[in-house]
Amino acid sequence: MQSGGSTPVINRSLFGVVQAAIEDGGLGEIYGASHGLEGLLVGRLIDLRDQGEARWSRIARTPGAALGSTRRKLTTDDVPAVLRLLDEKRIGYLFIIGGNDSAETGHTLYSEAAAAGMPLTVIHVPKTIDNDLALTDHSPGYGSAARFVALATMGAGRDAEGMGASSPITVIEVMGRDAGWLAASAALGKRDETDAPHVICLPEVPVNEDRFLGLVEEAYGRYGSAVAVVAENARGAAGPLGGDEEPWYVDDFGHPYYEGAGRHLAALAGRRLSVRVRYERPGTIQRSMAACVSTTDAREAGRAGQAAVRYALEGATDAMVTLVRGDGAKYACSTGLAPLEQVAGQVKRMPDEYLDPSRYAVTQPFLDYARPLIGPPLPWFGRLR
């Protein structure tokens, strides 16, 4: 099953699971749950063994959840229906491709099945553009979304620079519910002080509005344009930016979403500097832009799916596949396992060594961490002398 927000490479992991299960030869039916938990509750299953090589080749390169995803939270009342279906279909292995909330679902189903005396192997395959899963170096999906944000920021910077006085400032609001990994990736295309972004607002660093405006004004005065990248849930010391104490949406897992941190800061900048400030909010294209898929991300997403089956057949259960970075100077990545109970409901925020709070920026160690994940080098733009 696939769960939570989609990524550009979520189907690479799905293909990896199915491919490894077919190649093993000892497994029987391979089912996919239509829209995750919703499909499990009503028995809406898809035969994944009988799809054909050509179809899988296309699906592996397709963004969005091919099985259909869900954000439904597993309730106590749901458990008997799910376990009954698994028992009726003689399903002994459950692979969940998802984020930290999906890890909680997997751990709960494993525990409830064990309590009922029902053998069930549960392996969680990590997936999130937010990169906030605990106990893994990074998460499949992040590298591709980070590449998109970096390219979008580079382009917005040159647009603001070229437009000059007519619209010299841009504020881009990007995804990242609890952590700033995705907003921070905007800096991956910055090669000198003139390049965007000039300010990055992250959930890990409370935003002082006067300080933010001062940094934007300083960049505008020095370079003639400025770009700020703001995480969607960036906050001030007193709470949500803009003074909206009530979130516009709270999902089944209790996660609040606030409207327009970037819009609020863009309005402040426009009033302070008396210039046109563009506010951009890319939305779901951050996690669905096939043209920005990182080759590294795609490869590792498929590898995580394959590893999930291998670990399951070796006897692992109630665990998440992790990506483990090698120690050498050249980037390398292998897989490992982490207990689901230590992943479920946890959030991996950016460490202090990656943050430069005084400049609302990120440090070189973050750039060294993130650059290998986004695939080939970003383009190098030019300027007239």
Instruction: Please name the fold of domain 10-141+291-342.
Output: Rossmann fold (3.40.50)
pLDDT in tens, 34-54: 999 999 999 999 999 999 999
pLDDT in tens, 198-222: 999 999 999 999 999 999 999 999 9
The predicted pLDDT at position 247 comes to 63
The predicted pLDDT at position 239 comes to 84
Domain with CATH 3.40.50.450 in the chain: 10-141+291-342
The residues annotated as belonging to the active site are 130
CA–CA dist 161, 139 (Å, integer): 34
The predicted pLDDT at position 243 comes to 59
The Cα diameter of the chain in Å comes to 74
Domain with CATH 3.40.50.460 in the chain: 149-288+349-374
Burial of 40 (0-12, 13-18, 19+ CB in 10 A): buried
* Spans in the chain with pLDDT lower than 70: 243-259
The predicted pLDDT at position 260 comes to 78
The predicted pLDDT at position 336 comes to 98
The CATH superfamily holding the domain 149-288+349-374 is: Phosphofructokinase domain (3.40.50.460)
